């Protein structure tokens, strides 16, 4: 076996290597990462991509929140407080609120998500995850028409046609292509790259598109039209000369090529879910994939971003039946995207307190949403300083799941994976799950509800 420079250096310097570590950054959840430790300090990683490597290193970065903080009224100044004080303050805010919003969840464990959703129910609030601004339309479409799906293991071993539509994995999921789709040698794809065809559909010639055998340059916002034409061409019916900027000949070529393959996969990203048509784009994509199964085997998988956004949808579904934007304000779970989604609630001023968990709406939500967030009592639970912590009233730090804490996460293909603990967190630092358990227990006391799980 060829020894890498890092492995050789590790031995000579007496460092320790932890193997089979899961990278808690993107929905690919790579589980072959090695982390090099010097005592309790991460000095290097092996196999992780540049983003994954940075995630592990961020455990020791200077922008960690090291103790709970309270913002001084009307200022941007924060005062350090104890965990007990922060938990009490958070519980008081949430117990007093008529309809608090709990947002985020996608970068923490399923165990923490489970407790958090119960907290939302006890407070008669709304619990929503980051799917609300990414793959929410995918989930809505999948719930509407179903979806032929498979695991990434099946893709690696069987798929000979890979289509990336409206996504750019080279930058967003850097190891997706090397671990599962284009480059690996699989059981029935022994020649790896040479056994597969890569198609990229995108308005821009992205770095992923530059690797493609066939690049389809769709006009911005015309995904529905091209998918519809592809479906029609697949059935052998006539289509217009140009659809959504794509010549008829290329659409027909793709339809015919797909039929000749043994196993095709459609991976799609926010370029499809967040452009005009939204869940209808996914609806028609699913319909085309379902049609394709008359000719060959075909599946689709959404390119989920945060490492456990899939898990958050799973946990919400098995707790209350809905995958995001779950509203308990009527005393039972309700879900109506466009009404109970975070941005809609914030922009209309329909929540009177908010707690953000393992997420950063301050960096991603529109200003109109964050203006309301800045006006109401707010709590942020996060290991790092973020634009959101900067405008929150109470900031509670936590350990990092998958680095300093074990926890379960779901990969983008809905496979649950157990994330490992690699190092100890900062002394006295609590996990997301523990902080949420303490707040839940105190909110129950304040509301006169019985202790224990469920109510
Ligand atoms: S592809 Fe994603 S999960 Fe894999 S190492 Fe990179 S950031 Fe981590």
For tokens 């119960």, what's the residue?
118
Q: Which numbered atom of ligand 1 lies nearest the CA of 176?
A: 1
Task: Report the separation in Å between the CA atom of 21 and the middle of ligand 1, taken as the mean of its atom positions.
Answer: 11
How far apart are the C-alpha atoms of 313 and 128, rounded to whole Å?
9
For a substitution probing ligand 1, which of 33, 47, 52, 171 has the most ligand atoms within 8 Å of its CB?
52
Task: Report the separation in Å between the CA atom of 22 and the middle of ligand 1, taken as the mean of its atom positions.
Answer: 9
How far apart are the C-alpha atoms of 254 and 185, rounded to whole Å?
24
Strands 101-104, 354-357: parallel, antiparallel or unpaired by DSSP? Answer: parallel
For a substitution probing ligand 1, which of 22, 24, 25, 267 has the most ligand atoms within 8 Å of its CB?
25
**Cα atoms in the 13 Å half-sphere on the side-chain side of 99:** 15
| pLDDT for the residue numbered 452 | 73
How far apart are the C-alpha atoms of 437 and 324, rounded to whole Å?
21
**Does the fold of domain 136-302 match that of domain 69-133+307-446?**
no
| pLDDT for the residue numbered 277 | 87
| pLDDT for the residue numbered 1 | 39
Task: Report the separation in Å between the CA atom of 367 and the middle of ligand 1, taken as the mean of its atom positions.
Answer: 30
**What CATH number was assigned to the domain covering residues 136-302?**
3.40.228.10
379 phi and psi angles, rounded to 5 deg: -130, 135
166 phi and psi angles, rounded to 5 deg: 65, 35
CA 118 to chain centre: 21
Tokens found for residue 358: 């393992």
Residue nearest to atom 3 of ligand 1 (CA): 29
How far apart are the C-alpha atoms of 430 and 13, rounded to whole Å?
32
Task: Report the separation in Å between the CA atom of 133 and the middle of ligand 1, taken as the mean of its atom positions.
Answer: 21
Residue nearest to atom 8 of ligand 1 (CA): 52
Asked whether 292 and 325 are in contact (CB, 8 A), the reply is no
Q: Residue 148's CB: how many other CB atoms inside 10 A? A: 14
CATH fold for the domain made of 69-133+307-446: Rossmann fold (3.40.50)
Task: Report the separation in Å between the CA atom of 371 and the middle of ligand 1, taken as the mean of its atom positions.
Answer: 33
Q: Which numbered atom of ligand 1 lies nearest the CA of 307?
A: 3
Tokens found for residue 429: 């630092």
Task: Report the separation in Å between the CA atom of 48 and the middle of ligand 1, taken as the mean of its atom positions.
Answer: 6
Taking Cα atoms as reference points, which of 406, 405, 376 lies closest to residue 392? Answer: 376
Residue nearest to atom 1 of ligand 1 (CA): 175
For a substitution probing ligand 1, which of 21, 27, 48 has the most ligand atoms within 8 Å of its CB?
48
| pLDDT for the residue numbered 62 | 82
Residues whose beta carbon lies within 6 Å of some atom of ligand 1: 23, 25-26, 28-30, 48-49, 51-52, 173-175
Residue nearest to atom 2 of ligand 1 (CA): 26
Domain spans in the chain, listed from the N-terminal domain onward: 5-60, 69-133+307-446, 136-302
Distances, alpha carbon 165 to alpha carbons 168, 257, 285, in Å: 8, 16, 10
Task: Report the separation in Å between the CA atom of 77 and the middle of ligand 1, taken as the mean of its atom positions.
Answer: 36
Asked whether 106 and 359 are in contact (CB, 8 A), the reply is yes
Q: Which numbered atom of ligand 1 lies nearest the CA of 175?
A: 1
Per-residue pLDDT of the chain (455 residues; tens, 9 = 90+): 344 556 666 666 789 999 999 999 999 999 999 999 999 999 999 999 999 999 999 999 889 999 999 999 888 899 999 999 999 999 999 999 999 999 999 999 999 999 999 999 999 999 999 999 989 889 999 988 899 999 999 999 999 999 999 999 999 999 999 999 999 999 999 999 999 999 999 999 999 999 999 999 999 999 999 999 999 999 999 999 999 999 999 999 999 999 999 999 999 999 999 988 889 999 999 999 999 999 999 999 999 999 999 999 999 999 999 999 999 999 999 999 999 999 999 999 999 999 999 999 999 999 999 999 999 999 999 999 999 999 999 999 999 999 999 999 999 999 999 999 999 999 999 999 999 999 999 999 999 998 875 54
Residue nearest to atom 4 of ligand 1 (CA): 30
Task: Report the separation in Å between the CA atom of 452 and the middle of ligand 1, taken as the mean of its atom positions.
Answer: 37
**Cα atoms in the 13 Å half-sphere on the side-chain side of 352:** 11
Task: Report the separation in Å between the CA atom of 35 and the middle of ligand 1, taken as the mean of its atom positions.
Answer: 14
For a substitution probing ligand 1, which of 20, 21, 26, 171 has the most ligand atoms within 8 Å of its CB?
26
């Amino acid at each position: 076996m060829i020894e890498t420079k890092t492995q050789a250096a590790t031995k000579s310097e007496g460092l320790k290597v932890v193997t089979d570590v899961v990278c808690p950054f993107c929905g690919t959840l790579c589980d072959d990462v090695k982390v090099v430790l010097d005592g309790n300090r991460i000095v290097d990683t092996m196999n992780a991509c540049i983003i994954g490597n940075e995630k592990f290193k961020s455990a020791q970065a200077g922008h960690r929140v090291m103790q709970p903080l309270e913002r001084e009224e009307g200022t941007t100044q924060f005062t350090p407080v104890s965990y007990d004080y922060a938990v009490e303050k958070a519980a008081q805010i949430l117990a007093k609120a008529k309809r608090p919003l709990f947002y985020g969840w996608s970068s923490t464990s399923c165990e923490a998500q489970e407790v958090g959703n119960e907290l939302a129910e006890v407070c008669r609030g709304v619990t929503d995850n980051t799917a609300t601004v990414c793959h929410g339309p995918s989930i809505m479409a999948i719930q509407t028409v179903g979806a032929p799906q498979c695991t990434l293991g099946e893709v690696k071993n069987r798929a000979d046609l890979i289509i990336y539509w409206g996504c750019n994995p080279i930058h967003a999921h850097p190891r997706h292509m090397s671990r599962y789709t284009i480059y690996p040698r699989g059981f029935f794809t022994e020649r790896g790259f040479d056994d597969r065809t890569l198609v990229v559909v995108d308005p821009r010639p992205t770095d992923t598109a530059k690797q493609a055998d066939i690049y389809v340059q769709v006009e911005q916002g015309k995904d529905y039209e091209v998918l519809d034409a592809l479906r029609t061409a697949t059935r052998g019916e006539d289509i217009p000369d140009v659809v959504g900027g794509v010549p008829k000949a290329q659409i027909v070529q793709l339809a015919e090529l797909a039929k000749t393959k043994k196993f095709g996969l459609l991976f799609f990203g926010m370029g499809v879910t967040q452009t005009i048509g939204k869940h209808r784009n996914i609806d028609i994509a699913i319909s085309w994939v379902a049609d394709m199964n008359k000719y060959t085997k075909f599946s689709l998988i959404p390119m989920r971003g945060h490492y456990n956004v899939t898990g958050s949808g799973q946990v919400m579904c098995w707790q209350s039946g809905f995958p995001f934007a779950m509203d308990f304000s009527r005393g039972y779970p309700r879900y109506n995207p466009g009404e109970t989604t975070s941005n809609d609630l914030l922009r209309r001023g329909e929540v009177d307190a908010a707690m953000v968990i393992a997420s950063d709406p301050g960096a991603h939500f529109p200003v109109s949403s964050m203006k309301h967030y800045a006006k109401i009592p707010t709590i942020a639970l996060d290991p790092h300083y973020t634009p959101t912590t900067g405008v929150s009233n109470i900031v509670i730090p936590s350990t990092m799941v998958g680095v300093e804490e074990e926890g379960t996460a779901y990969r983008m293909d809905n496979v649950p994976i157990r994330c490992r603990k690699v190092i100890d967190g900062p002394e006295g630092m609590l996990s997301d799950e523990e902080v949420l358990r303490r707040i839940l227990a105190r909110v129950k006391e304040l509301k006169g509800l019985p202790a224990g799980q469920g109510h």
